[in-house]
């Protein structure tokens, strides 16, 4: 599923949404939205078969966040401006992070509701 929220949000281009399906036995999984920049990184990794190991590691981290945003492992590092969390992800390409925040207002995005997850950044851990 793809979606486009209001333009200009957080100074980023409008994000598109990827949704992972939960197992029928699991609790509901939060929807997951990606900023345009995060989506571009995701699509670049998807196109390059030699980097699918990195993509798999990032997908596993995003699935874990969507499954339980409140879990301590998904909130290892917290930032104030903008308010968000970072999950370090070891990958074949080195250490990467998933920078995300929880959606707090139902009207913030067209297709995301309070409690859903918005990924701000996917990429190498800054030095």
The percentage of residues in the chain with a pLDDT greater than 70, rounded to a whole number, is 78
Does residue 4 belong to any structural domain of this protein?
Answer: no
Q: Is 97 a domain residue?
A: yes
What's the predicted TM-score (pTM) here?
0.75
User: What is the number of domains present in the chain?
Assistant: 1
What is the separation of C-alpha 1 from the centre of its chain, rounded to a whole number of angstroms?
A: 14
Per the structure, the complete domain to which residue 101 belongs is given by 9-124
105, with CB counted inside 10 A (0-12, 13-18, 19+), is exposed
pLDDT digits (tens, 9 = 90+) for 4-35: 444 443 444 444 445 444 444 555 688 899 99
Q: What is the mean pLDDT of residues 32-44?
A: 94
* Cβ-based neighbours of 119, under 8 Å, separated by 6 or more: 15, 32, 33, 34, 35, 38, 62, 98, 99, 100
């Amino acid at each position: 599923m793809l979606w486009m929220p209001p333009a200009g949000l957080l100074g980023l281009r409008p994000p598109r949404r990827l949704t992972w399906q939960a197992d029928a036995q699991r609790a509901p999984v939060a929807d997951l939205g990606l900023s345009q920049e995060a989506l571009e990184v995701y699509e670049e990794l998807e196109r390059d078969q030699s980097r699918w190991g990195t993509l798999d590691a990032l997908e596993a981290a995003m699935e874990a966040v969507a499954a339980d945003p409140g879990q301590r492992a998904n909130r290892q590092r917290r930032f104030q401006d903008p308010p968000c969390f970072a999950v370090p992800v070891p990958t074949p390409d080195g250490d990467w992070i998933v920078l995300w925040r929880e959606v707090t207002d139902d009207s913030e995005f067209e297709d995301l509701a309070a409690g859903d997850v918005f990924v701000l950044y996917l990429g190498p851990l800054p030095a």
